[in-house]
Chain A
Amino acid sequence: MSIDMSQFHQVFFEESFEGLDIMETGLMDLDLGAANDEEINTIFRAAHSIKGGAGTFGFTDISSFTHVMETLLDEMRDGCREVTREAVDLLLASIDCLREMLSAVDAGDEIDQVRKDSLQKDLESLLANGSGDSKPQSVQQTVESSKDETTSQGIWKITFAPHPNLFKTGNDPVRIFRELKTLGVLTSIVDISKLPSYFELDPEESYLTWEMKLDSECSEAEIDEVFAWVDEECELTISKLTEQVIIDDSPEEEITVVATEEKTEIEKQDSVKPVVARKKTNKKAGSENSSIRVGIDKIDALINMVGELVITQSMLSQISENFVESDLEKLRDGIDELERNTRELQENVMQIRMLPISFSFNRFPRLVRDMASKLGKNIELKMSGEQTELDKTVMEKIGDPLVHLVRNSLDHGIEMPDVRKAAGKPEVGTLQLNAYHEGGNIVIEIVDDGAGLNKERILSKARENGLVGEDEILPDEKIHELIFAPGFSTAAEVSDVSGRGVSMDVVMRNIRDLGGVVEIKSEEGKGSTFTIRLPLTLAILDGQLIRVGDHVYIIPLVSIVESLQVESENCNSLAGKAELYKLREEYISIIRLHKAFNITPDSTELTKGLLVVAESEGQKVGIFVDDLLAQQQVVIKSLETNYQKVDGISGATILGDGTVAMILDMTGLVHLSRNNPVAISNSQSLITEEAVA
């Protein structure tokens, strides 16, 4: 029977990546002086599993590479080899290589042979000279048989005397005879001389001995193979007789030299043919896989809730059948119950997509360790709130931005040890990663006690890039936010770690795409704190409903700064092209929704409506609307999949009354109104009116 092994590959890759994570964390936690046996054993087992699986599924490169790592770890766990920093570093580098190899095989790509061979050589040389006591070098080998393997027709004499407790290991001579029979013609004589009397007999012990003759073409090795398991539990002799000469004392039947009947060849232990998965798969190798682990308790809670929902639903059905007015109260209660059930169900379903942020945080100990040693700095990482849960997709997308921010802190934030000492700070810099829930959001903080943002440098760079006017004076937060501008970087040299000036802009955009915000607090000489606020889920939005004419739109609450009534004296026009509103000390542009979407408002007079001040890409804009309606949670439905992409709109939702409301995309809106010539020319005339008024 041939089985398609590829159906098990995906599970193997998943568990191997998990195993590598366990190895990595384990290695980094190892106390170099006094390594705990159980800890090393855990690391060893992970390597052993990967090797075993790789061998079974035919990934020989991975198997042989992991084998060397496993040997090294085996020596460590047996106490034959000291756990040195050198060994740990080498193993960590090997883990990286293995990750790459696994990803490559998963995707059907070629393995980086050069990298693998080089690391394997390093591992082998460490094994060879290192501080290991001589343990038998075990290199993968096929079964070596020291016995003669020549096959030829002959008669074998086999005496088999099992020890008394053969049965206690679950062995049975009958099986052995059965197997011998598959090699040739078997005759046997039993010797019962050791059998004690009935009353002394222990039925669980073996007292019998057999003398057998096997007429076969097989080799001695094959016969040995049959007895392999009971080798140490019996007295065994195997010798070959020629066909003519019969060396034997006891009377026996005539040996019939017959052609052997069924002759099944005992399968030799060949090495498994390498069946490396070279098919091109469409799956993306890496952290984004399409499955998620969910605790059984969450599933059980869901099942309960659906049960409740069904009960409520049948109750409501019953009421609606033969409905009389006096049932109205019951109906209302039923609907309340329905709302409760639905809300509970919604909350719990959201929970399923939630995973603890530790999955994301776990990469940082290694990252900080490697970077700190690369930069020559002394840095301690403290993490808190690793169990804080967030949506799986949000977590996957926040990964890279977090890495960028952490790298920045390590590279630019925390100073070199001598600089810190001179400033009276402890030589060891501290980087904190905190996560917690607040409101309907998850908050992630990256705190360092480094040098803080240098306002002077930022300002001068911004002036250089034309982002800020020569004489413009900005409050501190504004200066800090400048680092999010595209292409901005004050790093003196472009290190390969950061400094290309690309990261911060991308960070900001990624966080915005997730519906989140980033805040900076920094004090020169003391340190910086980056705070990321993200909604707990991507599918639901807290929105502010607004009305323009007959149309209802939704502005994401997270983008709204404030709403106000328009005071005509604060309205201005700038070179007749755009309308501005003076909001305290700053000027913000006004976007007339009715112009942008070409609809009829209640009134075009600014003072008759409301201005919703919203933020887009660090800039504030004022959205002119007729009225503010309720604030509510809305489920985001994609416009793209149901219709097509529309500028200025990020999605749609269905309101309680069944109508469709569009969700505004702030960034798109700003561009729209800037480019809309109708809006510009119309507003020109309107502004002159208002300016005069």
Chain B
Amino acid sequence: MASILAVDDSASMRQMVAFTLKGAGYEVIEAVDGVDALNKAKGKSINVVLTDVNMPNMDGITLIKELRKLPNYKFTPMLMLTTESSMDKKSEGKSAGATGWLVKPFNPDQLLGTIKKVIG
């Protein structure tokens, strides 16, 4: 069973994402910001990282950069949650090592489709 790390400082978003993914049979680990996520990633083996960009303590892009430094996460798919208006964030994310992105707002089906693309 694949495990997904869902990172977002908004509780309602986390809940929606976790509920959707768990319903599809994935294991979901939640984190509230980059620091929390980094700790959880170090403690467990995770298959996909799904992270918001704007968060306190450590933002999503820095999180991806830090995760890529860890030997276990060199090739792990990492997706950013971005909004339509932040085109520059996408390239910033890519330079930091992000695999791709998912545009907000998204609905559960879009989320599942994207995750499936990434872990099949």
Name A's B-contacting residues (CB within 8 A): 1-3, 5, 7-9, 11-12, 15, 42, 44-45, 48-49, 51-53, 55-57, 63, 67, 71, 138, 140-141, 143, 167-172, 175, 178-179, 204, 228-229, 232-233, 267, 269, 272
Contact assessment for B15 and A8 in the assembled complex, using a CB-CB cutoff below 8 Å? yes
Size bin of chain B's contact surface? 35 or more
Known contacts A3-B108, A56-B105; decide if A169 and B97 are in contact (CB<8 Å). yes
- Rounded to whole angstroms, the CA-CA distance of A267 and B112 in the bound complex is 12
- Rounded to whole angstroms, the CA-CA distance of A50 and B120 in the bound complex is 32
Contact assessment for A15 and B10 in the assembled complex, using a CB-CB cutoff below 8 Å? yes
Contact assessment for A45 and B12 in the assembled complex, using a CB-CB cutoff below 8 Å? no
- For chain B residues 69-120, which have a beta carbon within 8 Å of chain A? 74-78, 81, 83-85, 91, 94, 97-101, 103-110, 112-113, 117-118, 120
- Rounded to whole angstroms, the CA-CA distance of A15 and B108 in the bound complex is 21
- Rounded to whole angstroms, the CA-CA distance of A48 and B113 in the bound complex is 25
Contact assessment for A57 and B75 in the assembled complex, using a CB-CB cutoff below 8 Å? no
Contact assessment for B85 and A11 in the assembled complex, using a CB-CB cutoff below 8 Å? no
Partner of A171, one of B74, B85, B99: B99
Chain B residues near A71 (CB, 8 Å)?
85
Contact assessment for A49 and B84 in the assembled complex, using a CB-CB cutoff below 8 Å? no
Contact assessment for B104 and A168 in the assembled complex, using a CB-CB cutoff below 8 Å? no
- For chain B residues 1-56, which have a beta carbon within 8 Å of chain A? 9-13, 15-16, 19-20, 23-24, 52, 54-56
Known contacts A53-B10, A169-B97, A171-B99; decide if A45 and B16 are in contact (CB<8 Å). no
Known contacts A3-B23, A167-B75, A229-B99; decide if A11 and B91 are in contact (CB<8 Å). no
List 17 other contacts, CB 8 Å, given A1-B109, A168-B74.
A1-B24, A5-B108, A11-B12, A11-B15, A15-B10, A45-B54, A52-B104, A53-B12, A67-B85, A138-B84, A168-B97, A169-B99, A171-B99, A171-B100, A172-B75, A269-B103, A272-B105
- Rounded to whole angstroms, the CA-CA distance of A93 and B80 in the bound complex is 32
The smallest beta-carbon distance between A18 and chain B, in angstroms, is 10
The smallest beta-carbon distance between A341 and chain B, in angstroms, is 36
Partner of A1, one of B56, B75, B101, B112: B112
The smallest beta-carbon distance between B32 and chain A, in angstroms, is 12
- Rounded to whole angstroms, the CA-CA distance of A178 and B104 in the bound complex is 25
- Rounded to whole angstroms, the CA-CA distance of A55 and B99 in the bound complex is 24
Partner of A5, one of B16, B55, B97, B104: B16
- Rounded to whole angstroms, the CA-CA distance of A5 and B23 in the bound complex is 13
Closest to A56 in B: B105
Contact assessment for A55 and B11 in the assembled complex, using a CB-CB cutoff below 8 Å? no
Chain B residues near A272 (CB, 8 Å)?
105, 107
- Rounded to whole angstroms, the CA-CA distance of A179 and B113 in the bound complex is 11
Partner of A169, one of B13, B24, B85, B98: B98
The 3 closest A-B pairs by CB, nearest first: A55-B105, A229-B100, A138-B85
Known contacts A141-B84, A175-B120, A228-B100; decide if A168 and B106 are in contact (CB<8 Å). no
Contact assessment for B99 and A170 in the assembled complex, using a CB-CB cutoff below 8 Å? yes
The smallest beta-carbon distance between A14 and chain B, in angstroms, is 8
Chain B residues near A45 (CB, 8 Å)?
9, 54-56
Most B CB atoms within 10 A — which of A49, A138, A168? A49
Closest to A269 in B: B103
Query: Would you mind naming 25 contact pairs between A and B with Cβ atoms under 8 Å apart?
Result: A3-B108, A42-B56, A44-B54, A45-B9, A45-B55, A48-B54, A51-B83, A52-B52, A52-B105, A53-B10, A55-B105, A56-B105, A56-B107, A67-B85, A71-B85, A140-B84, A140-B85, A143-B103, A168-B74, A169-B94, A169-B98, A171-B100, A204-B74, A229-B101, A267-B110
Closest to B103 in A: A269
Contact assessment for A170 and B9 in the assembled complex, using a CB-CB cutoff below 8 Å? no
The smallest beta-carbon distance between B41 and chain A, in angstroms, is 13
Chain B residues near A141 (CB, 8 Å)?
84
Closest to A228 in B: B100
Chain B residues near A171 (CB, 8 Å)?
77, 99-100
Chain B residues near A204 (CB, 8 Å)?
74-75
The smallest beta-carbon distance between A136 and chain B, in angstroms, is 8
Chain A residues near B99 (CB, 8 Å)?
169-171, 229
Chain A residues near B84 (CB, 8 Å)?
138, 140-141, 143
Chain B residues near A15 (CB, 8 Å)?
10-12
Contact assessment for A1 and B108 in the assembled complex, using a CB-CB cutoff below 8 Å? yes
Closest to B100 in A: A229
Known contacts A49-B9, A52-B10; decide if A175 and B118 are in contact (CB<8 Å). yes
The smallest beta-carbon distance between A33 and chain B, in angstroms, is 25
Closest to B88 in A: A136
Chain A residues near B15 (CB, 8 Å)?
8, 11
Closest to A4 in B: B19
Known contacts A138-B85, A170-B77; decide if A56 and B16 are in contact (CB<8 Å). yes
The smallest beta-carbon distance between B16 and chain A, in angstroms, is 5
The smallest beta-carbon distance between A66 and chain B, in angstroms, is 11
Chain A residues near B97 (CB, 8 Å)?
168-170
Chain A residues near B10 (CB, 8 Å)?
12, 15, 49, 52-53
Most A CB atoms within 10 A — which of B54, B56, B77, B105? B105
- Rounded to whole angstroms, the CA-CA distance of A120 and B105 in the bound complex is 21
Known contacts A15-B11, A48-B54; decide if A63 and B105 are in contact (CB<8 Å). yes
Contact assessment for B104 and A56 in the assembled complex, using a CB-CB cutoff below 8 Å? yes
The smallest beta-carbon distance between B82 and chain A, in angstroms, is 10
Chain B residues near A57 (CB, 8 Å)?
12, 16
Contact assessment for A168 and B75 in the assembled complex, using a CB-CB cutoff below 8 Å? yes
Closest to B52 in A: A52
Contact assessment for A170 and B75 in the assembled complex, using a CB-CB cutoff below 8 Å? yes
- Rounded to whole angstroms, the CA-CA distance of A167 and B56 in the bound complex is 29
The smallest beta-carbon distance between A333 and chain B, in angstroms, is 47
Contact assessment for B94 and A232 in the assembled complex, using a CB-CB cutoff below 8 Å? yes
- Rounded to whole angstroms, the CA-CA distance of A63 and B16 in the bound complex is 17
Most B CB atoms within 10 A — which of A42, A56, A57, A232? A56
Partner of A8, one of B16, B76, B107, B109: B16
- Rounded to whole angstroms, the CA-CA distance of A235 and B86 in the bound complex is 24
Contact assessment for A52 and B112 in the assembled complex, using a CB-CB cutoff below 8 Å? no
